[in-house]
Structure 1
Amino acid sequence: MRSVDDMIVAENLSKSFGAKHAVQDVSFTVQPGRVTGFLGPNGAGKSTTMRMIVGLDRPTSGRVTVDGRDYRRLRSPLTEVGVLLDAKAVHTGRSAQNHLRAMAATHGIPRRRVDEVIEITGLSSVARKRAGGFSLGMGQRLGIAAALLGDPKTLILDEPVNGLDPEGVLWVRRFVRHAASEGKTVLLSSHLMSEMALTADHIIVLGRGKVLADASVDDLVRQWTRATVRIRTPRALELAELVARDGVTVTHLADGLMDVEGAAAQDIGDLALAHGIALHELTPTSGTLEDAYLGLTGDDVEYKTKDI
């Protein structure tokens, strides 16, 4: 069993800015050895929570620890926690190389490590160029390089794939999964549900400053989505009447095509066979993380758009 010293632990964490409650009584544990996705609509409190983890905002109440300690009490932060909160937090007149060298000097990190993270993050060709001229994607790579500089055992990455091309997104996915496989603690936020579904093992969802869910990806999808069976048959109306019962929803999509929720594909197939109904398609589909997320946060978005 892992000790608390290997984890990020938030206990009854709250933060208010005047009358606005950005984070309200939030408790969770980010365990090592897996990628924990940190999700929520804009204004949910994710960034504020991350800032409190690394001591940039002071909690109004409650506490949060990294490796069993307040982040501000860590003797060598860069070698213990790698953080990407704002990739633009760099002197625009410095080159990527000099920016990383300046950071390394504060912790006695050798220059060869700077060269290593530049190569790891694909910055070699622009290492001597001024960061102020970087594209959004290159800025993200520099921010990730800074987070990796001290080879920390904990990584906190806020929207690390923002602005990256497909190759960069794939690299981040592989990297964080490899880091978790080595026993590192990884907290990762993103608005890309499809990417999070491929990357995360566990999900924490915030909404209006409160924890809405804290579960594995599979459990979250299972709890907040319903499996659907796509059916194509020339006797759709007849089969729909046979399938219909409490808890079953039938949606007719086109002539001979319908979706059924609440009934297993095997049961539908057996029922059709028993009544001599030909099936041209019987395709079960499961819900996605995006479906689960939208179902979970539908009432907690700060700004709602109108359906079109």
Structure 2
Amino acid sequence: MITAEGLGKRFGDKKAVDDVSFTVRPGMVTGFLGPNGAGKSTTMRMIVGLDKPTSGRVTVSGQEYRRLPAPLTEVGVLLDAKAVHTGRTARNHLRAMAATHGIPSSRVDEVIDLAGIGSVANKRAGKFSLGMGQRLGIAAALLGDPHTLILDEPVNGLDPEGVRWVRQFVRHAASEGRTVLLSSHLMSEMSQTADHVIVLGRGKVLADAPLDDLVRAWTSTTVRVRTPRAADLAAVVAGPATEIISTGPETFDVVGVPAARIGDLAAEHRIPLHELTPATGSLEEAYMALTGDAVEYKSKEIA
């Protein structure tokens, strides 16, 4: 379990993290989201002792990271896949890490196979592609078979097979009762992976909720309707809090009325229905609605 209590970090006059509190619980994948500059990476660095909090505290399994007797066996971390000795081979990089914690060399071979880097294990890490570097970073995070995983953009640079593997792996890790904190800007991938979501914006917690609850709270459900009497049914469904969007001669979308109510109205007025399909909003839509006012580095809109 990861627990942050009133966590804050200043860099000069800038508050990178401002009174952040949350709990990352075992047995689920917790997504860590936010725009660039939101404070995610700084928060992760404070969790593992790379940055010292200006205020508050953060613990892993009840202890500060720096007090853990064997950190690699407690917490697996991927913050910067490029943070390796470029002259070492992947195998020797992992062996050097293992030696600091008394981890047997057989475990090095296991994580090499697990991360799919067996064919390049004896090549220098400095020659690795972005994707291979990510796989080596993931292998390093798994080296101590830790109970807690903290992964910052682990699928960056991976091919579709690698992205799928990371998704399956973190979900399996959570199913084993491990604590998983996963940061990513890929909303479609996060929606398939995370159970719970913490969203930061300008250094503050904007949301801390189960993924499905977050999507429901920040998006609208649209119902796609198809009927040969579209105009008649649209007139019956219409109301002051209802939005009706015509999409064709026999189809329209409805926002503000649940599918069951539309079906009841169609039956009541003897209007045939050929399609009645509710579609909930996406995590991307919820994220954009939630963080719209918290984007520090905003691109110019393209006409």
What TM-score does the superposition give when structure 1 sets the normalisation length?
A: 0.94
Instruction: Name the structure 1 match of 2:92.
Output: 98
Instruction: Name the structure 2 match of 1:212.
Output: 206
Aligned: 1:138 with 2:138: no
Aligned partner of 1:155: which letter? L
Aligned: 1:42 with 2:33: no
RMSD: 1.3
Aligned partner of 1:104: which letter? A
Instruction: Name the structure 2 match of 1:4.
Output: none
CA change 1:252–1:303 in 2 (3 A) is farther
Report sequence identity in percent: 75
The C-alpha deviation readout for 1:207-243, integer Å capped at 9, x for no partner, is 1111011111111112111111011234333322221
What TM-score does the superposition give when structure 2 sets the normalisation length?
A: 0.96
Aligned: 1:275 with 2:274: no
Aligned partner of 1:41: which letter? P
The gaps in structure 2 that reach 5 residues or longer are none
* 2:16 alignment partner, one of 11, 22, 33: 22
Instruction: Name the structure 2 match of 1:284.
Output: 278
Alpha-carbon offset, residue 307 of structure 1: 4.9
Instruction: Name the structure 1 match of 2:161.
Output: 167
The C-alpha deviation readout for 1:275-296, integer Å capped at 9, x for no partner, is 2333332211112222211221
Moved over 6 A (4+): none
CA distance in 2, matches of 1:231, 1:31: 41
CA distance in 2, matches of 1:18, 1:248: 49
Aligned: 1:247 with 2:241: yes
The C-alpha deviation readout for 1:110-165, integer Å capped at 9, x for no partner, is 11111111011111100000111111111000000000111111110001111111
Q: How does 1:108-147 map to 2 (within 5 A)?
A: 108-147=102-141
Aligned partner of 1:144: which letter? I
* 1:70 alignment partner, one of 52, 55, 64: 64
Instruction: Name the structure 2 match of 1:53.
Output: 47
Aligned: 1:191 with 2:182: no
Q: Specify the SS of the correspondent of 1:187.
A: strand
The C-alpha deviation readout for 1:57-101, integer Å capped at 9, x for no partner, is 111111111111111111111111100000000111111001111
* 1:263 alignment partner, one of 257, 264, 273: 257
